[in-house]
Structure 1
Amino acid sequence: MAWLVLVVSGLLETVWAIALEKSDGFSRWLPTTIFGVALVLSMAGLGYALRTIPVGTGYAVWVGIGAVGTAIVGMTVLGESASLPRVLCLMLVICGVAGLKFFH
């Protein structure tokens, strides 16, 4: 259950990161609200997961999911560069996160 919560929390990190960008410096109420709610839920989930998952593993997986998710949204929705080197580097992060889960 902790791993599922950790994955959902990592996905929520992507949500709050994108909402933060869309909030325009906290001047738009809807993205700002989404940012706040997603941030609290993401941190609460991380805290729950760290009750049974070691902090180094849990935090690295959480950050990895959030970073890769945010980069994918940036490339597919926000028009950021999707160059081959960027995609290869994201694949390395994914391999690292999978390795942390596999060797836990």
Structure 2
Amino acid sequence: MSWVMLGIAGLMELVFVLFLEKSHKQGKKMWLFVSVGAMIVSIYILGRVTEFIPLGVAYAVWTGLGSLLSVGYGILFLGESKRPLRLFFVLLIVIGVIGIKTFG
């Protein structure tokens, strides 16, 4: 269950980034409040998860998942670059998180 909660925390990090970008583009404070709320929820869940998963592993998975989802969203929906070298470095993040989980 703690891994599911960690996944939810990572998703909330994506929500944070999406609404932060929406707030910036539209200039509406409502989206900024949604963004900050999502980050608060994400950090709260991360804190709770560290009772069951070591901090270093939980943090690496949390940031890695948030980064992966943000980059993926940018590529799929915002027309951001999907150059091979960029994708290679995203893959390195995934490999690093798997390595920390496996050997941590």
Aligning the two structures, in what range does the TM-score lie when normalised by the shorter sequence? 0.7 to 0.9
Question: Equivalent residue for 2:4?
Answer: 4
1:100 aligns to 2:103 (yes or no)? no
* Code of the aligned partner of 2:46: L
Indicate conservation of the 8 Å contact 1:20/1:26, yes or no: no
* Code of the aligned partner of 1:72: G
Indicate conservation of the 8 Å contact 1:22/1:31, yes or no: yes
Question: Equivalent residue for 2:90?
Answer: 90
Higher-helix-fraction structure: 2
3-state secondary structure, aligned to 2:74: helix
Question: Equivalent residue for 1:52?
Answer: 52
Question: Equivalent residue for 2:33?
Answer: 33
Q: Distance in 2 between matches of 1:54 and 1:26?
A: 39
Regions of 4+ moved over 6 Å: none
Question: Equivalent residue for 1:17?
Answer: 17
Q: Distance in 1 between matches of 2:48 and 2:62?
A: 12
Q: By how many angstroms is 1:11 displaced? A: 1.3
Q: By how many angstroms is 1:25 displaced? A: 7.7
Question: Equivalent residue for 1:74?
Answer: 74
Q: TM-score, normalised by structure 2?
A: 0.87
Q: TM-score, normalised by structure 1?
A: 0.87
Identity %: 35
Q: By how many angstroms is 1:99 displaced? A: 2.8
How many correspondences in the alignment?
104
Q: Distance in 1 between matches of 2:98 and 2:44?
A: 22
Cα 1:26–1:77 change in 2 (3 A) is: closer
Q: By how many angstroms is 1:16 displaced? A: 0.3
Indicate conservation of the 8 Å contact 1:17/1:70, yes or no: yes
Q: Distance in 1 between matches of 2:77 and 2:66?
A: 16
Give unpaired runs (5+ residues) of structure 1: none
1:62 aligns to 2:94 (yes or no)? no
